[in-house]
């Protein structure tokens, strides 16, 4: 405000540079309008009565005088007139396409930041989907394909060769060939599970060939060495059994799968009863009655490289594991 007053006082009527004086007058007029705008209640009351315009001018002159600024009546009158005509007042443009574009341009920084945040969130979601869903699925598909095309074929060939190398009996080869054929057929239809089942069969066949043990009659004072019973399906018949166990090369009992002839169930057991004829049963009974110990305990022997037990006494092949 002080610069405006100085400009008014330093611009005499006869100055040789009218352009700056006009500019200072314009600035003073704008300042008058601004002062009126800040005296809103006062202006609203005074400008509604045209006959009191002179009083309004006096009051404005006093406002400036109190600030140490001398403003001519012409400048004050021009400011009042400009206020009435809404000059020096910003009027917002009407809404339209151009205005909308301008607002978008002004807000481009804020909009850009928002779009960047959205893009970042979408990128994070995509990365999460890729690493936790899509990529594991691709890896699993690739792993399955490698298993079908490389891992399982080689494993089947190796297992088949291992069975043949271990076998000392011709009975093993047809079984190995059947497992290998089942595995290749499963691979041809992209059935990894079926191929793994065939591979497990070959591995079990090799394990059976490698196993060696003796089947011995149980001969302990607190345990029976034989039993006889009437089968549930034929109560009129009496079956005779020797209670046996499989003893490994280290002298410890081993578990073997045994199928009961009475109910057809199969179970891994370390002790079971094998059916024999009455003559063999009575022979073992007399042997144990002699001194409480069965002298000839050997029932059969399973040698490495073979699948079947070589029995040293007559047996029917039937067995039970409950009595």
Give the 3-state secondary structure of residue 259.
strand
Asked if 40 and 103 touch (Cβ cutoff 8 Å), the reply is: no
Of the candidates 205, 215, 214, the residue with the CA atom closest to the CA atom of residue 305: 205
Give the model's confidence band at 268: pLDDT under 50 very low, under 70 low, under 90 confident, else very high: very high
The conformation of residue 265, written as its DSSP 8-state character, comes to -
| Residue numbers of the domain that contains 148 | 110-210
Q: Is the pTM of this model over 0.75?
A: no
The first and second tokens of residue 133, run together, are 């869903």
Domain stops at, among 210, 230, 264: 210
DSSP 8-state symbol, 94: P
Contact between 248 and 254 under an 8 Å Cβ cutoff? The reply is: yes
Where do we find the tokens 């410890």? Answer: 252
Q: Is residue 219 part of a domain?
A: yes
Q: What pLDDT score was predicted for residue 143?
A: 85
Give the pLDDT confidence score for residue 47 in this predicted structure: 52
pLDDT band at 5 (very low <50, low <70, confident <90, very high): very low
**Which of residues 159, 189, 210 is at a domain's end?**
210
pLDDT of residue 16: 43
- How sure is the predictor about 208, in pLDDT bands with cuts at 50, 70 and 90? very high
Total domain count, the chain = 3
Are 313 and 219 found together in one domain? yes
How far apart are the C-alpha atoms of 74 and 29, rounded to whole Å?
A: 9
Residue 98 lies in a domain: no
Does any domain span residue 162? yes
Phi, psi of 239 (to 5 degrees): -105, 145
* Stronger pLDDT, 319 or 89, i.e. the higher one: 319
User: Of 161, 185, 210, which residue sits at a domain end?
Assistant: 210
Query: What mean pLDDT comes out for the span 84-110?
Result: 69
Strands 213-217 and 271-276: unpaired
**pLDDT above 70: residue 21:** no
Distance CA 69, CA 87 (A): 23
Assigned token pair, 72: 């001519």
């Amino acid at each position: 405000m002080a610069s405006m007053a100085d400009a008014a006082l330093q611009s005499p009527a006869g100055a040789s540079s009218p352009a700056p004086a006009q500019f200072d007058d314009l600035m003073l007029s704008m300042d008058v309008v601004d002062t009126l705008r800040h005296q809103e209640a006062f202006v609203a009351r005074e400008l509604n009565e045209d006959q009191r315009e002179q009083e309004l001018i006096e009051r404005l002159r006093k406002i400036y005088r109190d600030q140490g600024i001398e403003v001519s009546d012409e400048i004050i009158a021009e400011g009042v007139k400009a206020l009435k005509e809404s000059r020096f007042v910003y009027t917002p443009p009407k809404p339209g396409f151009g205005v909308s574009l301008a607002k978008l341009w002004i807000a481009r920084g804020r909009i850009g930041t928002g779009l960047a945040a959205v893009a970042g969130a979408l990128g994070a979601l995509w990365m999460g989907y890729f690493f936790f869903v899509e990529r594991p699925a691709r890896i699993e598909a690739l792993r399955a394909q490698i298993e079908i095309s490389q891992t399982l074929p080689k494993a089947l060939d190796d297992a088949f060769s291992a069975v043949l190398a271990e076998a000392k009996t011709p009975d093993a080869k047809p079984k190995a060939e059947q497992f290998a054929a089942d595995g290749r057929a499963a691979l041809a239809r992209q059935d990894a599970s079926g191929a793994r089942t065939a591979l497990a069969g070959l591995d079990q066949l090799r394990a059976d060939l490698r196993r060696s043990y003796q089947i011995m009659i149980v001969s302990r004072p607190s345990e029976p060495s034989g039993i006889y019973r009437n089968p549930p399906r034929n109560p009129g018949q009496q079956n005779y059994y020797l209670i046996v166990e499989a003893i490994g090369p280290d002298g410890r009992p081993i578990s073997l799968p045994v199928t009961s002839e009475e109910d057809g169930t199969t179970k891994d057991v370390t002790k079971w009863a094998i059916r024999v004829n009455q003559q063999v049963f009575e022979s073992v009974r007399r042997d144990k009655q002699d001194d409480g110990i069965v002298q000839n305990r050997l029932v059969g022997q399973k040698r490495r490289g073979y699948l079947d037990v070589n029995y040293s006494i007559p047996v029917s092949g039937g067995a039970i594991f409950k009595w």
